Amino acid sequence: MLLSSSGYLVLAAVLAVSGAVKLRHPRVFAGQVENYRILPGAGVWPAAVALALAETGAALLLVAPWTRTAGLILAGALIGGFLVAMSAALARGQRIPCACFGGTGDLAMVGLPSLLRTALLGVIVVASLAVRGGAAPAPGLGEQVLAAGLMLVLVFLLAETARLLPGRLTPAGIAPSGEQA
């Protein structure tokens, strides 16, 4: 109960930071959107701005209890779309930044860690939506913040642990060091 009722805090923090970075550097983010080769050139800029605004908007919706369900639904739609886009890029063998937080380094590349991190955020959305219908009382804000912090650490630790797996999922089966996976 505590973990699922605190998930909205994790999602709000992740989406707020991610959206803010993308809004601060919209041209960089538009380039990252273009790298996915999903949209025609004319649709890249509007889509990039819309995605950044949607992430920020979802974070804001998640904060207020009376709009939290709408925020969870929007967060779920965004996360689902991100999973589809990353999976498509990986299937095409693209080695591109995932654009999750506007990053461009090796740690931000589309691969198993970014897919796992995004999927875990999707699990948090589903668990948070599931608890919205429950009748159990919500824990105090202090307990929710602590649980959210622990969930956030767990999401990133699990995703980064995937880098240690032999033969992990990477574009074209090439490990980052250039060796065959």
CB 48 within 8 A of CB 162: no
Residue 107 has pLDDT above 60, yes or no: no
Task: DSSP letter for 147, please.
Answer: H
Q: How many CB atoms lie within 10 A of CB 76?
A: 19
Q: What is the pLDDT of residues 45-62, one digit of tens each?
A: 999 999 999 999 999 999
Report the mean per-residue pLDDT for the chain. 80
Of the candidates 135, 26, 129, 137, the one whose C-alpha atom is nearest the C-alpha of residue 68 is 129
Q: How confident is the model at residue 159 (pLDDT cuts 50, 70, 90)?
A: low
pTM score, whole prediction: 0.76
Residue 83 pLDDT greater than 70, yes or no: yes
Q: Is 164 exposed, middle or buried (0-12, 13-18, 19+ CB in 10 A)?
A: exposed
Better pLDDT: 181 or 50: 50
Residue 62 to residues 77, 83, 102, 144, Cα–Cα distance (Å): 14, 21, 21, 14
